Structure 1
Amino acid sequence: MRAAVVRTFGGPESVEIADVPVPVPGARQVRIRVAAGALNPVDAAVRAGVFGGAGKTLGLGWDVAGTVDAVGAPAAWETGDPVVALVPGVADPLGAHAEYVVVDAGAVATAPASVDAVHAGTLPLNGLTALQALDLLGLAPGDRLLVTGAAGAVGGFAVQLAAHRGIEVTGHARAADEELVRSLGAAHFTADGAGPGSVDGVLDAAVLGAPALGWVRDGGAFVAVRDGALPEVERGVRTGNVWVRADGAQLAELVRLVDEGVLTLRVAEAFPLEEAAKAHARLAGGGTRGRLVLVP
């Protein structure tokens, strides 16, 4: 089968399309025939060597939408089931940017019925990241949340999910994105930040760090969506990073919200798998609103 891989670290030109063996599902795993999968910044980080793995062949792609092709018993899925899944891992030989991928059965959810596979393939990584970050924040209806990077994939989902929970959301993004961010459910918008201590929590999807921490009230909560150093704790503010984990039950909840119209799936452009390097170059150019998607 064909798969997008990296053998040497570098820019978009380092992405190759290789012929690799079709993976075989083990116990409690399923093999998915891939229909589509989003390209994410984490793929660019793998390609650049951020997570290591020099000398290995590394697969790319964390998002998958497709159909179950084979099942390793026991698993509660059948051949032909339309599904979505998160394919977690940054140093594995195969990722979701391939014709087939194997995942744990517990990472899988039935695909949304209201959208096509290209759109469904944008949901798992960013939707689960936003959901798990909100859970870490632990805010209640009526609390005030500021989301940085609110026009991006994670930030956009976070705005929609938080607003759906009854949280008062301020979206932080470039001024040109105000209309988009408000359309996602933000009650307020800022391109310049917020007053000191003015919100109960910050979901820092743009990884602004210390300045965004200053916007949180004493005893509030701050969660960044990228692994790494957090701002120094101050004023009793709880801080944490979210490192997304596969969770089929949570993914099924996100699918339900897609089908109910609560969550919007945004696609900027779709590329055939053979043009993976071109898609990486487009991602590196910045400025996309919505995900780039690879289609085998």
Structure 2
Amino acid sequence: MRKLIFVLFSIFLISVYSCDDGDIIEFNLDFDDEFYACEGVSDLVLYKTKDDPSESLSILISNFTIEDLIDVADNDTLEITDKSVTFYYRTYSDESVSNLFCEDIPDVVNITRNEVSDDSTIDILTVLTEDDGDGIDSELEDINGNGDLTDDDTDNDGIPNYKDVDDDGDNVLTKDENPDPDDDGDLSDAQDTDNDGIPDYLDADDDGDGVNTRDEETSSQDNNPTNDVTNEDVGPDYLNPEVSNNIPATEYRTHTVSKSYLVTVTVNDISINEASIESLYFGTLSDSNTSETETLTPVFN
């Protein structure tokens, strides 16, 4: 699992006073740090609402889509700065406005204040995290120790270890080979059945009987050596050095990797009436499009 740590400074309450012909207008931008997205024909709206009092903050980004928000580069990161947007602050007489956005037929609401900042900009930071669910943090899968996770591919199947559910290509999932038995992030105590100094999750022949683990199957070959057991007292044949069935494997099991995008937005240069806000942390995106799975087909060799 690739882990990235960010320090984000949230603005929970901003009170802005504006003088207009002697009147004082107070804006309390007290919203949660989570926002949502609504995609139109050619524009994207980022928004958040709250009740009691009923208010909304929204950002209109022209000629932009949700896909643009998660279009990360090769380094799994997207950074956009000073993108021109229109920022809205609205208040309502209605008790609840939670269903105001993204409806085919929007709710009819009574807007009591509509403040627009036409010349605002936003900064977008999107980071992709890919998790193969193998129980090993990605930074620990830098076998070469060069800081580049993409060139560590123990089984040469075309999938780097940090995205590979079966790092050694033995058709036994890494998570099932006890790479970190006590979940302390220290792999020095990883399971090593044949005590050859190579942990099972990186060992092509776990029991050291001369037959690769992936080939220790019965006649009902299913690319899963864990269910081939000759001696119940010992366990699967691939962990039993006394059994050396050899039925050559013909393919690897397919891989499913979880992908999640952390999208954060900051709004700059907000001008509402006579008031101005230099920078407002808008929050993180909550949307089903920020989570997905990817099926990878390893190259058999």
Tell me, yes or no, whether TM beats 0.5. no
Q: Determine which structure has more spread, i.e. the larger CA radius of gyration.
A: 2
TM-score by length of 1: 0.23
Q: Larger % of strand: which?
A: 2
TM-score by length of 2: 0.23
Q: Larger % of helix: which?
A: 1
